[in-house]
Amino acid sequence: MKIFSRLLFILLFSLSLCAMGENFPIWLVKSLDTQQAREAPDSLVAFGQERGVAKIRALYLNRCAADPESGSFARALRKAESTQINAFVIDIKDVSGNLSYRSAIAQAIACDASRNAVIEDLKSYLSELKAMGIYTIARIAVFKDRRQATHFPDRAIRRSDGRIFRERGSAWIDPHNREGREYSLKIAEEVAKLGFDEINFDYIRFPAKTGLCCYRSDTQKNRVAAIESFLKEAYSRLHPLGVKLSVDIFGYVLWNRDDLHIGQKLESIAPYVDYICPMLYPSGFFAGTMGLRNPAANPYRIVKGSLKKGIARVSEGAIFRPWLQSFRDYAFDRRGYGRSQIAREVLAAEELGSSGWMLWNPSSRYPHVDGALFALKEKMSDGSISPKVAVSFRVRRRSRHRLHHHRRRAKHGKRRSSPAHRRKALDILRVD
């Protein structure tokens, strides 16, 4: 009888997944608007092309990789010369609060933010990149800033007991705090005047954690208002300088009507930025999303399905340029993300007419970005290869030594859980 009951449960569960089609599983994010989960109309497919938007194909360069003397920077330049890559997203202020250039801002000098700077003459550096035809984007981590929170503790988000809230060694600035907001805005203005084409705000949100203390009460209205007012001010101050403004958001923001408790709401962000950059990393989505057991094995469907939801909600204002995964899966089967997966992501973004795409690898390593990658994408585009098919992956067998070590750890109770279980769903969407 028990066996029959289990089989019946499995059958009913499978039928429910099939019935969902590409609808997002509402039990994973309770606030999902079911009406929004429908597919976007075909008329939105050419959303980007209709507006004559230049296609940006960018690589992310962390502070070390942006060093003009480094091998990583030389490799990035070679890829820009030999492939369709035409833009770099350069770390200007990272989550530690370190600046990659020599700043003249008094507060940056006071907290020694430029102590690890790798770019001595930012203006000349950018001029040379532009001479090569490379579009330059300055990435600024706004509210996740350990250095600023340490040197100016009155600006930091705190725990209920009054201690500064720290998350894996980093700390957060209260988005309501005027001085903390002004610090990032001044950095954005400074690098815009030195020659960047675009300012990209990352960590433009509250921490994905409840029970923290900020200047204003922790309500959705206050959180959304803080992020919206910051972007509104940034837009009014940066646009006169001739730069574009983009903002990074969680992939789930495209699916949700609420703010995910982080202050990011699509409709409140869109009017004040030129580009919305959702982080559409398949590894960051729950099992069951769009009825998929393993989202990491279905990059084309995840990217395309998510963009359709966002495009259907933002018909005017900002346009989409997604972040795409170019790093090993950390939540499902630890598969590497090579040409096959990246080509599917790129194709999905381009088919929906996004204003381009940006590849994220926290170490700024891109061994699969070459001519073969773009050739594979073209084959998928002309129908020679179907991008919709899940990418197969065979898990490597452990060596005898590793298997013995694994069994010993399990025997003595020291086995570590997988990253997907150690981390919270929202936290793993961005890998630093």
Q: Does 377 fall in a domain?
A: yes
Write the CATH number for 129: 3.20.20.80
First to last CA, the chain: 50
pLDDT at 242: 96
Residue range 68-102, pLDDT digits in tens: 999 999 999 999 999 999 999 999 999 999 999 99
Q: Does 27 fall in a domain?
A: no
Q: What are phi and psi of 198, to 5 degrees?
A: -150, 145
pLDDT at 272: 95
Tokens standing for 389? 């098919």
Give the pLDDT mean for 178-202.
98
pLDDT at 400: 53
- Assess contact for 260 and 250: CB atoms under 8 A: yes
pLDDT at 390: 73
Residue range 318-364, pLDDT digits in tens: 799 999 999 999 988 888 999 999 999 999 999 988 889 999 999 99
Residue range 129-175, pLDDT digits in tens: 999 999 999 999 999 999 999 999 999 999 999 999 998 889 999 99
Q: Does 15 fall in a domain?
A: no
Q: Does 82 fall in a domain?
A: yes
Report the SS3 class of residue 282: helix
SS (H, E, C) 389-408: CCCCCCCCCCCHHHHHHHHH
pTM, full prediction: 0.81
Residue range 392-419, pLDDT digits in tens: 665 555 445 554 554 565 555 544 444 4
Q: Does 178 fall in a domain?
A: yes
DSSP for 285-325, written as a single string = SPTTGGG-S-GGG-HHHHHHHHHHHHHHH-SSS-EE--EEE
* Among the ranges given (123-137, 222-236, 242-256, 373-387), the one the predictor scored with the smallest mean pLDDT: 373-387
Confidence of residue 47 (pLDDT cuts 50, 70, 90): very low
Query: 37 CB contacts (<8 Å, ≥6 apart)?
Result: 23, 24, 255, 309
pLDDT at 54: 67
Q: Does 3 fall in a domain?
A: no
Give the pLDDT mean for 281-291.
92
Q: Does 317 fall in a domain?
A: yes
42 pLDDT higher than 70: no
DSSP for 252-277, written as a single string = GGGTBSS-TTTT--HHHHGGG-SEEE
- Tally of domains within the chain: 1
| Domain range for 233 | 40-429
Q: Does 232 fall in a domain?
A: yes
Q: How far apart are CA 148 and CA 183, in angstroms?
A: 9
